[in-house]
Amino acid sequence: MANLGSIKGNADGEHGENDSYTIRGRGEVSRDKLVDEVKSGQHPDYHIYERGGEEYVRSNPNGRNKDNVD
């Protein structure tokens, strides 16, 4: 389970979107795998955001920029 601030987007998609994420202590994870993990409740501090028919991982709002998934 990833704590807030431990998941970072890699901005490695064609247009700078996150096709993968890096989880501190675990390494790189594909977007599809991480989306599935968030949906199954493995990362309760995160949720799914849909844009343009694609799903992305976002941190739950708490007012702290350092916790955001970039």
Expressed as residue numbers, the domain containing 39 is: 7-62
Grouping H, G, I as helix, E, B as strand and the rest as coil, residue 43 is coil
Residue 70 inside a domain? The answer is: no
The edge-to-edge listing of strands for the beta sheet with 7-9 is 7-9, 20-23, 27-30
The tens digit of pLDDT for each residue in 1-40 reads 766 568 999 999 999 999 999 999 999 999 999 999 999 9
Would residue 48 count as lying in a domain? yes
Q: Report yes or no on 69 lying in a domain.
A: no
For the record, the structure tokens of 17 come out as: 């979107």
pTM of the shown model: 0.84
Half-sphere exposure in the Cβ direction for 69 (13 Å, CA): 31
Helix (H, G, I), strand (E, B) or coil at 58: strand
Q: Span 43-67, mean pLDDT?
A: 84
Helix locations, 1-70, DSSP H: 31-39
Overall number of domains in the chain = 1
